[in-house]
Every structure is written in C-alpha cells, then in structure tokens.
Structure 1
Amino acid sequence: MSEFARPPSLGTLVTEHIRQMIVSGELALGESISERGISSQLNVSKTPVREALTRLKHEGLVTIVPQSGARVFTLSAQEVQEMCTFRRAIEFDALELAIEHDHEGLAEDLRHIEDQMQVAHGSGKVVEYLNLDTEFHMCFFKHCGNAYLKESYSQHVGKIAALRTHLSAKPNHTRMSLKEHGEIVDAVFRRDLDTLKLLLDKHIGRTQETYEDDISDISKTG
C-alpha cells in the first residue's frame, strides 16, 4: 500500500517564507524581524513564527538576542573570509568528484543553467538570475555522488545566496560573475581541473574582496 504524502507543517511553511524573504533581499542584512508583522502578513499565530525563527537561527540566517528579538544575520570581515575559505574547499572537492562521477550530466546541466543565466541577465531579471546562480553552484553537489558534501553545503547555501543578493546591486560584480560562470562551464567540458581550481579561486576570491570593500554596509544592524 502506498503512503500518503504528508503536507508540510505550518512551521515549515513559515520557515520557508521567511528564508525566501532573507535570500531575496526583501529582508535586508541586519534588519529587525517583527514576529507580529510576519504573523499578521501570513495570518498565523506567533507560535509558528517563533518556531521558524529558531530553525533559521540554526541555519545561520537569523540571530536572536534576548529582550531584543530577531534580526537577519550580518557578517564581519573575518566571517566573510572564513565562509569563502569554506566555499573554495568544498566546492572544488564536489566539482572534482562530480566530473569523475557524472561528467556528462554535470556538463550538460551547467551549460543549460549558464544559458538561462545569460538570458535572465540580458532581460534584467535579477531574482531569476540569482536563483540560477545558486542552482549553478548546487549542481556541483547534485552530481558529486557524496551525500555528506551535499548536506554540508546545504546547511550554508541560504546564507551564501543572501550575500549573493546583497552584491547584485553592484552591476560590475554581476557582469564579471556571469563571465566566470561561462569559463567554469568550458573548463568542466574539458575536464581541466587545474584551470577549474584557478577559476573557482578567482571567482570566490573576487566575491570576498567585494564583500570586504562593502563591509560597512554588510555589518549594518538596521
């Protein structure tokens, strides 16, 4: 007998809603999150909102201070450096494994996503472009054949995506990022691991530099 799929709980739905508000930039880095405002917006009690904020705290997307309430995360220069070091290590490992485990599937998926990114960028569809950017990097883990790597990256992908949204206000950064994605795809097709390591170092390193240049904005607390 087949099992009925259980619908997501109210807490899960509220969690996803707030997560998307953070990732999309609707809630800015460091911005205060009103439990009352969210519960009114979604027509739910404060209980699932509090449950959602606790979950998002564990994901690193929210900070909760007693007597002060919840805020969207912010990052110091040191934290940005640590995140980028994490990305360099785990993304290259996943990409190397993906080329070994499923080169054809990886290459085709990346090319398809990169083509969509070109269209979205050319059409000025910022949100669509940013979602595709996240999907591009998640593709390394989709094809790597290692559930532990995928789970480790998934724990931080929301924060990475939110920071990516923050940088989308800088047109030159996005143009350079798009060019680098195309270069990564070309190197994947060639199975050129040496070039891929250099490209990822450059891609993530430039992101780190841009964050650090803008750290005064990133560190705002509302």
Structure 2
Amino acid sequence: MSLSNEAFTRIREAIVSGKLDFGERLSEMQIAEALEMSKAPVRTAFFKLRDIRLVTIVPQAGTYVFSPRREDVLEMSTFRAVLETAGMRLSMQHAAPVVIETLEATIEQMEKALGSGNWAQYEATDMAFHEVFVRASGNSFLPQAYDLTASAIQALRVRLQGGEGDYRQQSFGEHKMILAALKDGRLDAAARALEDHIMVINEARLHLPEGTSRARARTRAPEEYKALFAG
C-alpha cells in the first residue's frame, strides 16, 4: 500500500468511526507526524477524501471534516435509495442466487455481531448487506456512483447507531424483512422496504453541526493526533 493510500485509509476510518468530529479542522502537518510520513501523502489523501465528500478543502483556510446539514442528509439518503433499489432490481435479474446466498450469510454475521455486542463488526456487515445490490448489479457505473456518498452515509449511520434508542435491533429486523421479501419473489415489496429502511435516517435524532463557523472549528493538539492514529 502506498503512503497516500495508507493516509487515506487511516483518516477515512477516523472520520467514519467518529474519532474525528464533524466540522473540525485537520492539520496536515500534525497528521503527517502522527502517521510518521511526510506531508505530501497526507495532502494527496485529503484530495481523495474530498472526492468522496468526507472533507472540505477551503483555499487559504484549511481542510475540514465534512459538516452535514439536514438538507445534506436528505440528499445523500435519497441518492442512496435510488441507487440501491436500482441495484437490487438489476442484481436480482443478473445474479439472484448469488445475491440471496450472500445476503443470508451477511444476516448471520450481523446476528452474531449483534448478540456479542461487536458494534464495529455489526456496522461493517450492515454496510456489506447494502453493497451486495450495487456490486452484483452487473453495471460498472453503479458502484462508482455509490462510492461517492457511501463513506459519508456510513459516518452518519455509525453516529446514529451509537446514540440512544434501539436502532440496531430495528435495523436488523428491517434487513431480515428485505431478505424475506426477496426470497419470496416479492421484488417490489423488497424495494419499498429497502427505500424505507434507507430514508428512516431523516427521522432520526442525529446530532448534526448547526452553523459551525470554520474560524471557530476545533483543531487538535499534536498529542491527540498521535493517540488517535496510534498503531
């Protein structure tokens, strides 16, 4: 793995997992020191992260973790619902047995993670469930379009699943409902259930930044970055 890819992967994981806060300013120099590399790979990683909507680069001001508004969440979830329901229909035409088998295996992994309280594993398998539809669609453009917002949506879902309420249990039940409809051949019902499942994020109590000024955005101390990227 190249240094820029390593930096991209490490910073992406920190944003998606919630270790880095929405709207906070990122220090290229301090992150480079924490990752024990030069600034050039980190700068390249910032551009890659910008392309998938995880950071905003402001000329003469700096690089900031994305700071979604309610309107942004609605746009992202609508975009995702359009792509995933289209992917579901294409994948069921293109490779239905493989899709069903993969979804069954993913549901089993989700259930184990839920039972053991392994939330990182649950979130990973949750994402894998949804990716099946676009990856098995037979259309090479769908995964490319999906990846534009996949990480940002994952970051939102991680924060939602870490909040109050019984969100994971509800989410797991909805995944099982989608699979059951597909196995019964009720494609339209499965697509409606999938869309409802995706769009529910708009009704959730997400703690989103409100009018955060970049001039007042948080910047971490060097030792915080070192602890965050340790190992």
TM-score by structure 1 length? 0.89
Cα deviation for residue 9 of structure 1 reads 2.3
Is this contact kept in 2: 1:14–1:52, CA < 8 A? Answer: yes
- Alignment pair present for 1:181 and 2:175: yes
**In structure 1, how many angstroms separate the alpha carbons of the residues matched to 2:24 and 2:161?**
18
Cα deviation for residue 37 of structure 1 reads 2.6
1:162 corresponding residue in structure 2:
155
Which deviates more from structure 2 when the two are superposed, residues 107-116 or residues 67-76? 67-76
Unaligned runs of 5+ in 1: 1-7
**In structure 1, how many angstroms separate the alpha carbons of the residues matched to 2:53 and 2:138?**
26
Is this contact kept in 2: 1:113–1:136, CA < 8 A? Answer: yes
Cα deviation for residue 32 of structure 1 reads 2.3
AA partner of residue 199 (structure 2): G
1:40 corresponding residue in structure 2:
33
- Alignment pair present for 1:81 and 2:74: yes
Which deviates more from structure 2 when the two are superposed, residues 74-83 or residues 111-120? 74-83
Is this contact kept in 1: 2:77–2:153, CA < 8 A? Answer: no
**In structure 2, how many angstroms separate the alpha carbons of the residues matched to 1:192 and 1:178?**
19
2:228 corresponding residue in structure 1:
none
Is this contact kept in 2: 1:14–1:48, CA < 8 A? Answer: yes
Is this contact kept in 2: 1:94–1:149, CA < 8 A? Answer: yes
**In structure 2, how many angstroms separate the alpha carbons of the residues matched to 1:139 and 1:155?**
16
**In structure 2, how many angstroms separate the alpha carbons of the residues matched to 1:31 and 1:172?**
29
Residues 158-200 of structure 1, C-alpha deviations (whole Å, 9 max, x = no match): 1111111111113422221111011111112122112112212
AA partner of residue 183 (structure 1): M
What are the within-5 Å matches in structure 2 for residues 131-142 of structure 1?
131-142=124-135
1:12 corresponding residue in structure 2:
5
TM-score by structure 2 length? 0.86
What are the within-5 Å matches in structure 2 for residues 22-37 of structure 1?
22-37=15-30
Which deviates more from structure 2 when the two are superposed, residues 125-134 or residues 26-35? 26-35
Which deviates more from structure 2 when the two are superposed, residues 107-116 or residues 196-205? 196-205
Cα deviation for residue 68 of structure 1 reads 3.1
Is this contact kept in 2: 1:88–1:204, CA < 8 A? Answer: yes
**In structure 2, how many angstroms separate the alpha carbons of the residues matched to 1:173 and 1:15?**
29
What are the within-5 Å matches in structure 2 for residues 47-66 of structure 1?
47-66=40-59
**In structure 1, how many angstroms separate the alpha carbons of the residues matched to 2:60 and 2:136?**
45
> Which of the residues 121, 124, 130 maps onto 2:117?
124
> Which of the residues 77, 92, 98 maps onto 1:99?
92
SS at match of 2:56: strand
Which deviates more from structure 2 when the two are superposed, residues 170-179 or residues 180-189? 170-179
> Which of the residues 189, 194, 211 maps onto 1:195?
189
SS at match of 2:57: strand
Which deviates more from structure 2 when the two are superposed, residues 99-108 or residues 12-21? 12-21
Is this contact kept in 1: 2:52–2:147, CA < 8 A? Answer: no
**In structure 2, how many angstroms separate the alpha carbons of the residues matched to 1:127 and 1:34?**
26
SS at match of 1:104: helix
Cα deviation for residue 36 of structure 1 reads 2.6
**In structure 1, how many angstroms separate the alpha carbons of the residues matched to 2:27 and 2:115?**
36
1:219 corresponding residue in structure 2:
209
AA partner of residue 87 (structure 1): R
Is this contact kept in 2: 1:99–1:191, CA < 8 A? Answer: no
AA partner of residue 188 (structure 1): L
Cα deviation for residue 69 of structure 1 reads 1.8
What is the number of equivalent residue pairs in this alignment? 211
